[in-house]
Structure 1
Amino acid sequence: MDFADLLASSWEESLLPGGFGGHCRSKSRLPAGTLAYPGSRASIRLSLQILRSYGATKVLKALYRGMVAPHSFSHISLFPNAMVFQIYAILSRALDPSISAKEPPSYKVVALAGVGTGAIQSLILSPVELVKIRLQLQGSNYTRSKQADHHKGPTNVARSILRREGLRGIYRGLSITVLRDAPSHGFYFWTYECMREQLHPGCRKNGQESLQTMLVAGGLAGVASWVCCYPLDVVKTRLQAQSPSPSSVLKYNGIVDCFYKSVKADGYSVLWRGLGAAVARAFVVNGAIFAAYEVALRCLFHNGSIQTENTI
């Protein structure tokens, strides 16, 4: 199987495996909810805070508040993730049409295609994450002081945002989402291609890497993408967590203002709080995403085999 076979040759060949891989993905509550908690003990302190706020009987509901948002609509759970792989496949070829279909794109093209993919998918992801962040934070003391009514689900939240803030409100945070996702996706795909070739030389051409290679390369790709964008994700979360109303004034007036005020109040360490947990999760989740995508692509369309020997 050559590289051209691995890149989706039709929409179906990327949408289905991409959607399958997308079901392995979910976004962590930690960056949004632990901005006030320092160090590696952030997740423990967050858990204690949730227990105090909601009580033991409601802790599960509290922990999973907002998780329905990315799965409530079909295009939220399957479509964006499938589109990421399809857009990347198209861009990686479009940016260097001179190369043979049997040859893999250069690492430079891989990175540029990843950047373009991240920028395009931000148009879909930004409103989704805005709704999810509002759902996750609406039970906190911060949001209770800002918001009189609580919403029961993502549709209710989206309608409320559109009614109060208009289309501009639903796309609050789009700029910072693009700034976060464009470079992070460039690192994401570049790291995956580099690492799988290092771990299993020749696999970029023949597509015969082992499952272990997929898992490790995908995991390292996820770690690289999070490390490069984590401070921007913190800023994005704080910007999208703001819920403006006629009686309140926005705490942050933009990306630069949010960065400046956050660092001034809590120091530069605030931009990296929770990184350890995010990186650990990213390795596992993204290893599963790439492995699920590659395996689904082979099984559904190419009847390919996956090597199981000791070669990573």
Structure 2
Amino acid sequence: MDFWPEFLASSWGKEFVAGGFGGIAGIISGYPLDTLRILQQNSKTGSAFTILRNVVSKEGPTALYRGMAAPLASITFQNATVFQAYAILSRTLDPLESTKDPPSYKGVALGGFGAGALQSLLLSPVELVKIRLQLQTKTQKGPKEVAKSIIKAEGLRGLFRGLGITVLRDAPSHGLYFSTYEYVREQLHPGCRKTGEENLQTMLVAGGLAGVASWICCYPLDVVKTRLQAQSKYPPPKYTGIVDCFRKSVREDGYAVLWRGLGTAVSRAFLVNGAIFAAYEIALRCLLSNGSIQRENAMSAK
């Protein structure tokens, strides 16, 4: 691809748009499994099949999409911001010898770490509302109603319940996430990081494995985050903080509770992140190719 070195040197804004497309593809493809994961983490039984059967038999398949409006409405901006921040940070934190070279693996890891920390600020309120929606059983409220009820009971600060644990989860896992993707795609298609020449299968597999790696490394923190965000301030919460939640969860259910729902999360991670990176890479190529055509037309007109 002749345009790829040019893209590596200057692609401001394109990662933002492509990241939005990737995020939408990911949320649509994996939301039912995400709902199942949340229900597993917050229940006494860890059987995904039992929970799935109960939910579908009582409320129908659409119950697996409950609360999707909240993350779908924000996912374009959130995912777009993450990919744009990653692109900037990965090049800034580890300056390249040449603007035509891809970021080093060190730059990739640092850029992913920074992007993950930034994402936490955007994602924490959205996941809080989403978790409350997914755990509803009787009264069915919409995203706005849930958000308003949280603010009414706990103030604006209540929307950021679980922010600390979200940062601890997302910053390191995103460093591993982007590092795994770049490493695997290079192994599957040597030279593709510099040339941009790779097939759809490479994008899907590399993206899927990146998602699996990042989830495995942060999963216990995600279980704690879910339990903290599932509780409200009134009545008095069961857990007073991250350490307290960790201790009580292990004391009541054993260390296995920290991995409850991992199978569902890993299955979802491979599917979702394969879709995210494939949509992201394809969108980037379309955007840049279109930009190249427009510049050529402008030159011809002159």
Counterpart check, 1:214 vs 2:203:
yes
**Percent of paired sites with the same residue:** 64
CA contact (8 A) 1:118 1:184 kept: yes
Cα RMSD of the aligned pairs, angstroms, is 1.9
More helix by share: 2
Tell me which residue corresponds to 2:144: 155
Counterpart check, 1:229 vs 2:227:
no
Q: Which runs of 4 or more aligned residues in structure 1 lie more than 6 Å from their structure 2 counterparts after TM superposition? A: none
Instruction: State the Cα distance separating 1:275 from its structure 2 match.
Output: 0.9
1:17-32 to structure 2, matched below 5 A, reads 17-26=18-27, 27=31, 28-32=34-38
Instruction: State the Cα distance separating 1:34 from its structure 2 match.
Output: 1.0
Tell me which residue corresponds to 1:307: none
Counterpart check, 1:204 vs 2:206:
no
The change in CA–CA distance for 1:254 and 1:100 in structure 2 (over 3 A counts) is same
Q: Distance in 2 between matches of 1:211 and 1:2?
A: 17
Counterpart check, 1:47 vs 2:48:
no
Tell me which residue corresponds to 2:284: 297
Q: Distance in 2 between matches of 1:129 and 1:19?
A: 17
Residue number among 81, 84, 89 corresponding to 2:82 in the alignment? 84
1:86-101 to structure 2, matched below 5 A, reads 86-101=84-99
TM-score by length of structure 2 reads 0.88
CA contact (8 A) 2:108 2:178 kept: yes
Aligned residues: 283
1:127-138 to structure 2, matched below 5 A, reads 127-138=125-136
Tell me which residue corresponds to 2:154: 165
CA contact (8 A) 1:133 1:237 kept: yes
Unaligned stretches of 5+ residues in structure 1: 141-149, 305-312
Q: Distance in 1 between matches of 2:268 and 2:243?
A: 28
Q: Distance in 1 between matches of 2:111 and 2:230?
A: 30
Unaligned stretches of 5+ residues in structure 2: 292-302
CA contact (8 A) 1:242 1:251 kept: yes
Instruction: State the Cα distance separating 1:16 from its structure 2 match.
Output: 1.9
Tell me which residue corresponds to 2:248: 261
TM-score by length of structure 1 reads 0.85
Instruction: State the Cα distance separating 1:300 from its structure 2 match.
Output: 2.2
Q: Which amino acid aligns with 1:69?
A: A
Instruction: State the Cα distance separating 1:77 from its structure 2 match.
Output: 2.6
The change in CA–CA distance for 1:97 and 1:232 in structure 2 (over 3 A counts) is same
Instruction: State the Cα distance separating 1:6 from its structure 2 match.
Output: 4.7
